[in-house]
Amino acid sequence: MTTNTPDRARTRFPGISSRAYEHPADRSALVALRSLTGFDVVLRKLSGLFNERALRLMFLGGTVRVGENQFRQLHDMVRDAAYILDMPEVPEMYVRQDPTPNAMAIGSDHPFIVINTGLIDLLDEEELRFVVAHEVGHILSGHAVYQTMMQILISLGTRLAWLPLGNIAISAIIIGLREWFRKAELSSDRAGLLGGQDLDAAKRVMMKLAGGTRLQEMSHEAFLAQAQEYDAAGDVRDGLLKFLNLLPQSHPYAVIRFAEIDRWANSGEYERILAGDYPRRDDDGSASVTDEMKNAANSYRESWERSADPFIGKVRDVADGVASAAGGLFDRVANRAGGGGNGGNGGNGGNGPTSGSSS
């Protein structure tokens, strides 16, 4: 399958890097992984149990492969998304008979997309275009890599459950990975908007995922107000309950995704990318892990400052206190070791605990 011009005029992004649309917390982790020489080789050896070829054969035998003669509309959408996001090849797509409205991108060597009939039945053409571009964004970012990590750790956790504290340690890592996944979903929502270039369609997807097809019974403004109410709801106890409710979730709640894509689309970043101002794939090798970690920490800090959740306020106060204390301690140690000349580095050292607490 080769890339072709999409069916209507949409802005194309030659050479675009996934860093252009990735959420800072997602991007920092991906930049760090890409900087680890040989990491992908080790991961493939560890993931031998999850055979991509066997998985592909399973879908080839039990679902419908999208092409020019089957689900032609979806075929055109994935071709268009690959063209717009300048993918080197168009990923395969399969339609699975399943009433659950869901889609996923899986695989590592040659990732492919699976979309459930429940999602096809739920969405209109432009909404489906957003979803298909969302999945192409997952592939362009390489998110399947840590999806595989998750499966390995879950499998390892069941084997280590009998060891004292063994399963607790694995569970803590999985909690961190789930937070990473949720930010990856926000990244791919942005990719979906870039691929479809229809903000209203992106918002309708979130509303339909939450409330079904009866859009005439729903309102963009009321749904956004609902997101704001969810953010500010209750006292510290409610904030803690929201945090605990979110821990096992692979995706952010629909109201959160709605508010996030609305905020990003109106932040100026979306317009800059449309105008051609975005990082290029050719420069990915020079991306700084340190800079991206700082960007991730700043992103969490900004989201905390925007939030009206009392629980987030308490967490922010504690995190800021720890960061300040650690920064002061670092300054004192640095000054004792090398006099006053290292004061600048001491200030940067204070960012470490902030980055750590963000994960």
Chain segment 241-267, per-residue pLDDT in tens: 877 787 777 788 999 999 999 999 999
The answer to whether the beta carbons of residues 107 and 144 sit under 8 Å apart is yes
**CA-CA distance, 204 to 223, in Å (whole number)?**
10
Chain segment 149-188, per-residue pLDDT in tens: 666 666 666 665 555 555 666 666 677 677 778 888 999 9
Q: Are residues 231 and 293 in the same domain?
A: no
Residue 141 has a pLDDT of 87
Q: Where does a domain end: 224, 247, 277?
A: 277
Residue 243 has a pLDDT of 75
Query: Does 135 qualify as catalytic in the annotation?
Result: yes
* Residue 211 resides in a domain: yes
* Residue 4 resides in a domain: no
Q: Are residues 249 and 321 in the same domain?
A: no
Q: Are residues 107 and 155 in the same domain?
A: yes
Chain segment 302-331, per-residue pLDDT in tens: 554 555 555 555 454 444 443 444 344 334
For residues 172, 176, 177, 178, the Cα torsion angle rounded to the nearest 10 degrees is 100
* Residue 283 resides in a domain: no
Chain segment 127-153, per-residue pLDDT in tens: 999 999 999 999 998 887 666 666 666
Q: Are residues 202 and 338 in the same domain?
A: no
* Residue 8 resides in a domain: no
* Residue 108 resides in a domain: yes
- Written as one letter, the residue type at 354 is T
Pairing of strands 103-106, 64-65: unpaired
Residue 247 has a pLDDT of 75
Q: Where does a domain end: 225, 256, 277?
A: 277
- Overall average pLDDT of the 262-282 stretch: 94
Chain segment 77-97, per-residue pLDDT in tens: 999 999 999 998 999 999 999
**CA-CA distance, 139 to 90, in Å (whole number)?**
10
* Residue 49 resides in a domain: yes
- Overall average pLDDT of the 196-203 stretch: 97
Q: Are residues 148 and 23 in the same domain?
A: yes
Residue 165 has a pLDDT of 56
Residue 345 has a pLDDT of 36
How many domains in the chain? 2
Residue 96's domain comprises 18-277
Q: What is this structure's pTM?
A: 0.74
DSSP one-letter code for 91: P
Q: Are residues 261 and 349 in the same domain?
A: no
Catalytic one among 22, 92, 135, 179? 135
Res 208 pLDDT > 80: yes
Q: Are residues 265 and 300 in the same domain?
A: no
pLDDT band at 284 (very low <50, low <70, confident <90, very high): confident
Picking from 212, 193, 213, 191, the residue whose alpha carbon sits closest to that of residue 202 is 193
Q: Are residues 221 and 318 in the same domain?
A: no
Q: Where does a domain end: 247, 277, 307?
A: 277
Q: Are residues 75 and 170 in the same domain?
A: yes
* Residue 343 resides in a domain: yes
